[in-house]
Amino acid sequence: MQEKCWKDKMLFRYLFILLVLLPVKVFALIEVDITRGNLNPLPVAISPLAIDKDSKENFKKILKKKNLGSEISKIVENNLKQSGLFNPLNKDAFLQKPDIANLKPRFEDWNLIKAQALVTGKVTFVDEKLRVEFRLWDVLAGKEMMALAFTTVPSNWRRVGHIITDKVYERLTGEKGYFDTRIIYISEEGPKTNRIKKLAIMDQDGFNNKFLTLGNELVLTPRFSPTNQMVTYLSYFRNLPRVYLLDIETGMQEVVGDFPGMTFAPRFSPDGKKIIMSFAKDGNSDIYTMDLENRIVERISNHPSIDTSPSYSPDGKYITFNSDRSGYQQIYTMKSNGKNVKRISFGNGLYGTPVWSPRGDLIAFTKLHKGKFYIGVMRTDGTGERLLTENFYQEAPSWSPNGRVLIFYRETKTNTKGEGFSAKLWSIDLTGYNERMVKTQTDASDPSWSSLLSN
Amino acid sequence: MNLSKLLKNAFLILVASVVLTACSTQKKTTSGQMQGDVYTGSDSVEYLASGVPDRVFFATNETVLTTASRETLRKQAAWLRKNSDINVVLEGHADERGTREYNLALGERRANSAKDYLMTYGISSDRISVLSYGKEKPVDSGSNPLAWSKNRRSVTVKAN
């Protein structure tokens, strides 16, 4: 298992060059079980990354950061803490200096503060670039578990912190991380009756927020492509609600298809080559796909009821969707050609927004029952329904790329005067533990998680 | 033992009657503006012309037109026949108690049931376009049954 890290081709699509420093074969001594709720997070020590005087001065000039080494370690620390699986220890208790710890940790010292894993490292300024090396140590066994180094442009320093977290997470849990990722969402401002909505994007930890539209037209339900930096969303540009495609690298956008009516509820196919969506005409919504290369439109469902919120299985062979053909909103699955339609939700209440897990085994959904909204998961045949969280209003779960965490949005109830409305992003572990509000600059809704930027 | 059972039963009856009175008083306060859960008041209603209301209201999760809605739409049809140069957009809406995408479809269906009715009263489909806003444009920002009933609506808006 531990060899997987070294075998992975660290080909960073953009700016990263990754070098494997010391591929050491060791036995996985620390194991974090992520399949159950973790009430006992693993104590880890994140030693500030060591930095020499010259490098410090250079980065201070370029990035306006006093000590880039400790800034990067703060990102790692925060990510690990947010995951709920780790408990980063207070730095005040650290006995060993960062530079010495990185060379050869005195394990007794780290053992004394009950750290089970230790992250050390070094930051240097080389040829106008940022070079970072880091090591992960097993404190109890007194062994190095991993050592990596990479070089990038200094402005990418936050991503360095996320990539280190992904590597540490993967090494300790045996599963890919989800930290070097972004969230596309809808930023909201203004009163409920006159809400201004903008397309916005940020890093998974809320930093580097950027607005992608100005708020002149209503925009809704952005979704990331699982393969590249494309986003599909619904825009009311010129009061014509249509599905759009946006390249977030270039800013280019276009309407998807020329449908004689409203298109909505778009998502990408797992290979990123098709958009699946609803098309509403004459009071009936059905599911269609459009091939982005040859622009061929295919009708997938054909039923007088409302068919919407389609989502592909990760192998592209099946589709889950929302339909009220039974009289009320329920969740269905079908083959990707529209055949073999099966209802899978049979619990009490209404079900909506089904999303297939990237691992393939579960479907996340929103459930409405007795005036409460729930986010839950069920197996793809509808069995094993598990409700993760209950509230006045919440919906639209989106999976982290490793299928371990769900992000969704929650709205508050207004008072009798209609005041006190807010919409925020929240995340929760698949286990139902570790529910957290995700900080955003403005009110926010409709989050969609990107895949890992580096893999 | 028997006595305690008796007391328990008496207590239950007492609780039930309290609950029942609570229900009936609650109904009374809203009955002026709602029938079932369909809005019947005129708080948010605007007028296309004197005596021609611009909107019709729906029950939760429903797209069926009520008797009052059909009467409103017949008035709109008569007005549209008299003003043959006017085209309209039917804007369909839902309340906040539903998932966003389903509500977009629901709004579209509501506006279309109003459109179908106008067409049976002789208004050409060329003069009517449909636009669903789902739950994006509530008229009442309250989180209560009365506010939701005002928001479940199809509004006829002059397009020109």
- The gap between the terminal CA atoms of chain A, to the nearest Å, is 17
How confident is the prediction for chain B on average, in pLDDT? 86
Residue-level pLDDT at A164: 97
Q: Which residue out of A276, A285, A408 would a mutagenesis test of the B interface target, given it has the greatest number of B Cβ atoms within 10 Å? A: A285
Phi and psi at A77, nearest 5°, equal -60, -50
Q: Do A368 and B98 touch (CB under 8 A)?
A: yes
Contacts B140 to A, Cβ<8 Å: 193, 418
Question: In terms of Cα–Cα distance, which of A264, A222, A259, A268 is closest to A243?
Answer: A264
Strand residues in A174-325 grouped as ranges (E): 182-189, 196-203, 210-211, 219-224, 230-235, 242-247, 253-255, 262-268, 274-281, 284-291, 297-299, 307-312, 318-323
- Minimal CA separation from A195 to chain B, in Å: 8
A96 has a pLDDT exceeding 70: yes
Distance of CA B82 to the CA centre of its chain: 27
**Residue with the two structure tokens 């036995």:** A27
Choose among A186, A181, A245: nearest CA to A208. Answer: A181
User: Could you tell me if A63 lies within 8 Å of chain B, comparing CB atoms?
Assistant: no
CB contacts of B128 in chain A (<8 Å) are none
Phi-psi region of A316 (alpha: psi -120 to 50; beta: other; left: phi over 0): left
pLDDT at B4 over 70: no
Considering only CB atoms, B102 lies closest to which of A309, A411, A419, namely A309
Q: What span, in angstroms and rounded, lies between the C-alpha atoms of B94 and B107?
A: 6
Between A266-280, B9-23, B79-93, the lowest mean confidence (pLDDT) is in B9-23
pLDDT exceeds 90 at position A102? no
> Cβ contact (<8 Å) for A221 and B144?
no
The residues near A417 (Cβ < 8 Å, ≥ 6 apart) are B142
Which of helix, strand or coil describes residue A433?
A: coil
Contact B108 A324 (CB under 8 A): no
More confident residue, B141 or A15: B141
Please tell me which of the candidates A218, A366, A392 has its beta carbon nearest to residue B99: A366
Q: Identify the pLDDT of residue A443.
A: 98
pLDDT of A38: 61
**In this complex, do B105 and A221 lie within 8 Å of one another by their Cβ atoms?**
no
**Confidence at B5, pLDDT banded by 50, 70, 90:** low
Q: Given a cut of 50, is residue B53 above it in pLDDT?
A: yes
Output the pLDDT for position A36: 62
Average pLDDT over residues A172-201: 97
Question: With 50 as the cut, is the pLDDT of residue B118 above it?
Answer: yes
With 60 as the cut, is the pLDDT of residue B52 above it? Answer: yes
B55-97 residue pLDDT tens: 999 999 999 999 999 999 999 999 999 999 999 999 999 999 9
Nearest CA in chain A to B138: A193
Closest CB from A262, A366, A371 relative to B108:
A262
Pair type for strands A386-391 and A372-379: antiparallel
Contact B112 A282 (CB under 8 A): yes
Distance (Å) from the C-alpha of residue B64 to the closest C-alpha of chain A? 12
- Per-residue buried b or exposed e for A293-310, using 16+ beta carbons within 10 Å of the residue's own CB: eeeeeeebbeeebbbbbb
- Which CATH topology does A182-449 take? Neuraminidase (2.120.10)
Q: Average the pLDDT over A270-281 and give the result.
A: 97
pLDDT digits (tens, 9 = 90+) for A330-386: 999 999 999 999 999 999 999 999 999 999 999 999 999 999 999 999 999 999 999
ipTM: 0.91
Per-residue confidence at A48, pLDDT binned at 50, 70, 90?
A: very high
Interchain proximity A285–B147, CB inside 8 Å: no
**What DSSP character marks residue A237?**
G
Q: Is the pLDDT of residue A9 over 60?
A: no
Decide: helix, strand or coil at residue A331. strand
Q: Which A residues in the span 78-97 are in contact with B, Cβ-Cβ below 8 Å? A: none
Sign of CA dihedral A189, A194, A198, A201: positive
Instruction: Kindly indicate the confidence band of residue B27, based on its pLDDT and cuts at 50, 70 and 90.
Output: very low
| Bridge partners for A363 per DSSP | A356, A378
Q: Whole-angstrom Cα distance, residue A369 to residue A376?
A: 12
List chain A residues with CB under 8 Å of B132.
241, 262, 280
Owner of token pair 């992003």: A425
pLDDT at A270 over 50: yes
Question: Which residue has better confidence, A232 or A249?
Answer: A232
Contact between A332 and A308 under an 8 Å Cβ cutoff? The reply is no
Q: Are the C-beta atoms of A244 and A234 separated by less than 8 Å?
A: yes
Res. A8: pLDDT tops 50: no
Closest CA relative to residue A115, chosen from A83, A145, A93: A93
Q: Could A193 and B141 be called an inter-chain contact, meaning their C-beta atoms sit closer than 8 Å? A: yes
Which of A191, A278, A371 is nearest residue B141 as measured by Cβ atoms?
Answer: A191
Confidence of residue B160 (pLDDT cuts 50, 70, 90): confident
Count other C-beta atoms under 10 Å from residue B149's C-beta. 25
- Residue A86: both structure tokens together: 């780790």
Q: Chain A to chain B, count of Cβ pairs less than 8 Å apart? A: 102
- Where do the structural domains in chain A lie, given as residue ranges? 3-173, 182-449
The CA distance from A16 to A157, in Å, is 11
Least confident interval from A14-28, A222-236, B62-76: A14-28
- Percent of all residues in chain A with a pLDDT value above 70, rounded to a whole number: 92
**CATH for A3-173, among 3.40.50.10070, 3.50.50.60, 1.20.1440.230, 3.40.720.10?**
3.40.50.10070
Residue A49 contacts residue A123 (beta carbons within 8 Å): yes
pTM of the model: 0.89
Q: Does A348 touch chain B (CB under 8 A)?
A: no
Which residues 73-112 of chain B have a CB within 8 Å of chain A?
96-102, 104-106, 108-109, 111-112
With CA atoms as reference, report the closest residue to A413 among B142, B17, B67. Answer: B142
User: Distance (Å) from the C-alpha of residue A371 to the closest C-alpha of chain B?
Assistant: 8
Contact of B48 with chain A, judged by CB distance below 8 Å, is answered with no
Chain B residues closer than 8 Å to A284 by CB: 109
CA contacts within 13 A on the Cβ side of A275: 30
Q: Which residues contact A423 (CB under 8 A, 6 or more apart)?
A: A188, A409, A410, A411, A412, A443, A444, A445
Structure tokens at A137: 């140590």
